[in-house]
Structure 1
Amino acid sequence: MAINLSKGQKVDLTKSNPGLTNVVVGLGWDTNKYDGGQDFDLDSSVFLLNADGKAASEADFIFYNNTIGAAGSVEHTGDNKTGEGDGDDEQVKVTLSTIPSTIERVTFAITIHDAENRGQNFGQVSNSYVRIVNGDSNEELIRYDLGEDFSIETAIVVGELYRHGAEWKFNAIGSGYQGGLGSLVKDFGLDS
């Protein structure tokens, strides 16, 4: 049975699931009624961070146009441009055992594509979540529902996998940003 987390909670992943190496990080969302006349396209992205909390290069920014990173251990499975339907809207496959030792944190974000020009924000999004699934058994291990705490934000860091000694843990972050993807890229040490 999956562990449901609240904002700020941390849980060990590999210690309580011995032998776990392959996980799928599923991200999902729905859009509320919107009269702006433009499509609503949310995107998931991943930042591979070193001990200083920074991405070492643009290769450590994984998204729909750069789908593989961390020497092949992190793979974004593709862009969902509508968010329609049930289940995960986008997924990232992670092989924990082969992530290079220079990467301390694998941070997951959801952003709204072209939010400023389209007049869109996370106040128009509902049912956002991140979940960690055992990639071998398809069992949901961890789930974090982001709730309705966001209004004017255009980007959210939803959570991160991070090293703790020889183990991997998950942190439910739920931190909103204005300035969309550009603000995240800058915060994580990459200039857009």
Structure 2
Amino acid sequence: MAISLVKGQKIDLTKLNAGLTNLIVGLGWDPVQPKKGLFGFMKSEVNIDCDASALLLDANGKLTKEENLVCFYNRASGCRSVLHSGDNLTGEGDGDDEQIFIDLKKVPSDVHKILMVVNIYECENRRQDFGMIQSAFIRVVNKANNQELVRFNLSDDYSGKTALIVAEIYRHNGEWKFNAIGEGAYAAHINLLAKKYV
């Protein structure tokens, strides 16, 4: 049974799950449902293109190589320990909208954190922010048996924010842990968000 976390909580992944090496990190979201406008007509649903990304950071929380940014345009880290499922343009439907696959055995020793972030593509041109998103979540699944280990529902009000620092998977005393972060940020593109970690 998956453990539900709240913002700020941490949990051991590998210590509690012997032999855990391959993870599926699923991220999901839905556009806020349209409301009735003037004269009772439904306003049209807004298409919001959210993009999940992973940043492989060193012990100082720095992104030291360009190839350590895994996102819609760079779907594999240079070491191939982190892979991206591909771009979902709408967020429609149930379940994960985008997935990131992590092979913990392949993560290089100089990578101490894998930071999961989500940003809104072309947020400035489309005048969109995370106040227009609901039911956002991140979950970690054991790829070997498809068991959901951890789930973190992002329930804060992120109005005005154009990026989310969702969570991190990080090394601690030879084990891998999960940290539910859930912080809003401002970044019009994943490259701008990544620059904050250089």
Distance 1:46 1:9 in 2: 20
CA contact (8 A) 1:38 1:118 kept: no
Residue 175, structure 1, aligned to residue 183, structure 2: yes
CA contact (8 A) 1:13 1:167 kept: yes
Among the aligned pairs, what percent are the same residue?
Answer: 46
CA contact (8 A) 1:29 1:125 kept: yes
Q: 1:169 to 1:175 in 2, by over 3 A?
A: same
Q: 1:13 to 1:33 in 2, by over 3 A?
A: same
Which structure would you say has the larger Rg? 2
Give the deviation of 1:179 after TM superposition: 2.6
Q: 1:70 to 1:105 in 2, by over 3 A?
A: farther
Q: TM-score normalised to the size of structure 1? A: 0.94
Residue 8, structure 1, aligned to residue 17, structure 2: no
Partner of 1:187: 196
- Equivalent position SS for 1:184: helix
What's the CA shift string for 1:105-141, capped at 9, x where partnerless? 0000010001011110000000000000000100000
Give the deviation of 1:148 after TM superposition: 3.5
Partner of 2:92: 84
CA contact (8 A) 2:119 2:187 kept: no
Query: Which of 52, 71, 79 is 1:44 aligned to?
Result: 52
Instruction: Give the CA RMSD over aligned residues.
Output: 1.5
Partner of 2:40: none
Q: Which letter maps to 2:54?
A: V
- What 5-or-longer segments of structure 2 have no aligned partner? 35-42
Q: Which letter maps to 1:46?
A: A
Query: Which of 120, 125, 132 is 1:124 aligned to?
Result: 132
Runs of 4+ that moved beyond 4 A: 34-38
CA contact (8 A) 2:130 2:160 kept: yes
Partner of 1:134: 142
Give the deviation of 1:187 after TM superposition: 1.1
Distance 2:159 2:51 in 1: 17
| Aligned 1:159-174 pairs, distance under 5 A | 159-174=167-182
What is the aligned length? 189
Residue 143, structure 1, aligned to residue 142, structure 2: no
Partner of 1:105: 113
Q: TM-score normalised to the size of structure 2? A: 0.91
| Aligned 1:22-41 pairs, distance under 5 A | 22-33=22-33, 39-41=47-49
Give the deviation of 1:57 after TM superposition: 1.5
Give the deviation of 1:39 after TM superposition: 3.0
Q: Which letter maps to 2:132?
A: Q
Distance 2:156 2:61 in 1: 27
